[in-house]
Amino acid sequence: MSAVNMTYAQAAALALSQSMQANPHVIALGEDLGRGGVFGQYRDAEGAPLVQRFGPDRIIDTPISESTIVGAAVGMALAGCTPVVELRVVDFALCAIDEVVNQAAKNRYMFGGQGRVPMVMRMPIGIWSSSAAQHSQSLEAWFAHIPGLVVVAPSTPADNHGLLLAALASGDPVVYMEHKELWATPGQVTPGDVVPLGQARVVREGGDVTLVSWSRQMQACEQAAEQLAAQGVQTELIDLRTLWPWDKTAVLASVAKTGRLLVVHEAIRVAGFGAEIAATVAEETGARVARLGAPRIPVGYAPTLEAEARVSAAQIAAAAHQLVQR
């Protein structure tokens, strides 16, 4: 099938509708789904809410109770359904942390594989402009730390389509982390094209430094790579796409070529997932390693304060340049 231009939100909606059409056990539940989702991620290409196509028994509007939503979805999954849970933003998912961490993630292990929890939990991450500290967190490292969870963070419409298809087919509980400010981003998408979980994408090839990131921070990294190229520094840019499992093979192969690694993420630098990548590369290679993330502060509401929590292309370029010169 040929590629079609669509937004990040439309790409996910297409993947969901294709999966629901192919498998009658795929359902979606959460707040505001009946009107197409807060960000339009439950609307078709013509803008119609998916409930008009699949009905309220499969696109289910729920009360504002995240623990109830996830708890019900775990039961549905154990009973043979494949639920897609909409938690609006990752910040609200903290109200359902027991159901995610102690129920969904551990069930298969604790009961000797007698039951599986094939569910996708959509938890949009990242800074949401002028939305302040309780709506702007990047908590992917929390969930990557939990055995039993798959963690996905797509950066493009094509990946949001292909990774959601893969997540729905995986048979495991997947924490699916779209970015709050990527919904309107356009791109080419090939309908039905599955992106394997755990496989990184080499966005740009270069021999001087390896730059690894994911989600919306990839945009700043691409800008930084252009700035570095103008200074004579050739960057190999890798979009991790899946944080667990993450593509160690691709990262290590790139670092073997460049001898330098800079990991960048929008999340707070302290105990961020970049530390796992940096530590792995440091343990297995003799490469120079650095990481860059946000300061350990809440995201402010005022634009000037919010800007302090963002990792800019200029900061990335400066960190990479310093790594090359060391």
Q: For 108-139, write each residue's pLDDT tens digit.
A: 999 999 989 999 999 999 999 999 999 999 99
Which residues, in sequence order, are bridge partners of residue 30? 61, 86
- Scored b (16 or more CB within 10 A) or e, 219-246 reads bbbbebbebbeeeebebbbbbbbbbbeb
For CA atoms 241, 245, 250, 256, give the dihedral sign: positive
| Predicted local distance difference test score (pLDDT) of residue 2 | 87
| Higher-pLDDT residue of 295, 2 | 295
Q: How far apart are CA 230 and CA 42, in angstroms?
A: 41
- The domains located in the chain, with CATH, are 4-189 (3.40.50.970), 201-325 (3.40.50.920)
Residue 45 pLDDT level (bands cut at 50, 70, 90): confident
In the predicted structure, residue 302 carries a pLDDT above the cut 90: yes
| Predicted local distance difference test score (pLDDT) of residue 160 | 98
Spatial strand order of the sheet with 260-268 comes to 201-204, 235-239, 209-213, 260-268, 288-294
Tallying the residues shown for the chain, one arrives at: 326
- Give catalytic status of residue 135 as yes or no: yes
The helix (H) or strand (E) run that includes residue 9 is: helix 8-22
Residues 135-160 have pLDDT tens digits of: 999 999 999 999 999 999 999 999 99
Residues 276-294 have pLDDT tens digits of: 999 999 999 999 999 999 9
| Predicted local distance difference test score (pLDDT) of residue 251 | 98
Average pLDDT over residues 76-100: 96
Query: What is the crossing angle of helices 217-230 and 313-325, to 10°?
Result: 50
Q: How far apart are CA 131 and CA 111, in angstroms?
A: 41
In the predicted structure, residue 68 carries a pLDDT above the cut 90: yes
Average pLDDT over residues 95-113: 96
Taking residue 315's Cβ as centre, other Cβ atoms within 10 Å add up to 14
Query: What is the crossing angle of helices 8-22 and 157-169, to 10°?
Result: 30
In the predicted structure, residue 326 carries a pLDDT above the cut 80: no
CA 122 to chain CA mean position, Å: 9
- Smallest CA-to-CA distance from 88 within 44, 37, 153, 17 is with 37
pLDDT > 70 in the chain, percent: 100
The catalytic residue among 135, 161, 265, 321 is: 135
DSSP 104: I
In the predicted structure, residue 32 carries a pLDDT above the cut 80: yes
pLDDT > 90 in the chain, percent: 97
Residues 178-236 have pLDDT tens digits of: 999 999 999 999 999 999 999 999 999 999 999 999 999 999 999 999 999 999 999 99
Residue 42 pLDDT level (bands cut at 50, 70, 90): very high
